[in-house]
Amino acid sequence: MTGTAAEVLHGYCVRHAGDPAPDSSLTGVLGAGVRLLEDDELGLWVSYVEHRPGLAEGHLREHDRVVRSALRSCTPLPLRFGATFSDEAAALVVLRERREQFSVSLSELANRVEMGVRISQVPSSRSTTPDPEPAGAAVNPPRTGREYLEARRREMEAAASAKAAAEQALDRVAAGFADLDLPSRREIVPQERVLGLVAHLVHRQQIGNYRHRVLQLKQTLPDLDLVASGPWAPYSFV
């Protein structure tokens, strides 16, 4: 089966040839059905869509739903949202040209999933930090160039201090997993009270142990709020 001249192929993930195919009822972006393309050792889950989907939250969720469906049977190599091909022939060319790279990545990810920890600062009842100004509150703008530069300096110092504190918190959490020798990724998240995220590549049979380790760290790091998430497709490791 091939698409019409106006259609493109939207890619979701790469699998080993012979891995379970998508369920016939599974739909992806723009409500399109999901099908399997195979070439020698590799397979690709795709949908024919009328146009390249934009970065709307709904489309991202549809894409992720397909990848999560693939994850249920074995770990896929997820493609970033927006990977499209002009037709099946073009998709198969990519599989052939990148066969070695894809095969190595699938071997490294085999039987593993991504687990994560969201790290937030626990509010202190003894904190003397004033509450933030309500939205719309009047703020006196700098009246001179010197006042403007001084305000910018304070902003930059505060941002640097917040980043350093977040890095320190992520270091403390990462140290709690050091003995497990897991591949890891980390990201500082500039949100209120949220400090960052730490992701690990975990064997499926160790998911329960991972969640238990997070619970242990919550006891040893009482000033941090730790929330475990996953299992996810290993987006952070591709």
What is the 3-state secondary structure of the chain? CCCCCCCEEEEEEEEECCCCCCCCCCECHHHCECEEEEECCEEEEEEEECCCCCCCHHHHHHHHHHHHHHHCCCCCEECCCCCEECCHHHHHHHHHHCHHHHHHHHHHHCCEEEEEEEEEECCCCCCCCCCCCCCCCCCCCCCCHHHHHHHHHHHHHHHHHHHHHHHHHHHHHHHCCHHHCCCEEEEECCCCCEEEEEEEEEEHHHHHHHHHHHHHHHHHCCCEEEEEEEEECCHHHC
- Residue 182: Cβ-neighbour burial (10 angstroms; 0-12, 13-18, 19+): middle
Q: At residue 132, what are phi and psi to the nearest 5 degrees?
A: -65, 155
pLDDT of residue 196: 94
- Mean pLDDT per block of 10 residues along the chain (238 residues) reads 69 95 96 95 95 90 97 95 94 95 96 97 61 49 78 82 88 96 91 89 97 97 96 95
pLDDT of residue 172: 96
Return the residue matching tokens 């890891």. 184
pLDDT of residue 151: 83
pLDDT of residue 127: 45
Q: Taking the model in full, what pTM does it have?
A: 0.83
CA distances, 2 to each of 50, 82, 166 (Å): 13, 20, 50
Q: Which of 49, 51, 50, 2 is nearest to 27 (CA)?
A: 49
Q: In one letter, which amino acid is 17?
A: A
CA–CA separation, 190 and 162 (whole Å)? 9
Contact 113, 75 (CB under 8 A): yes
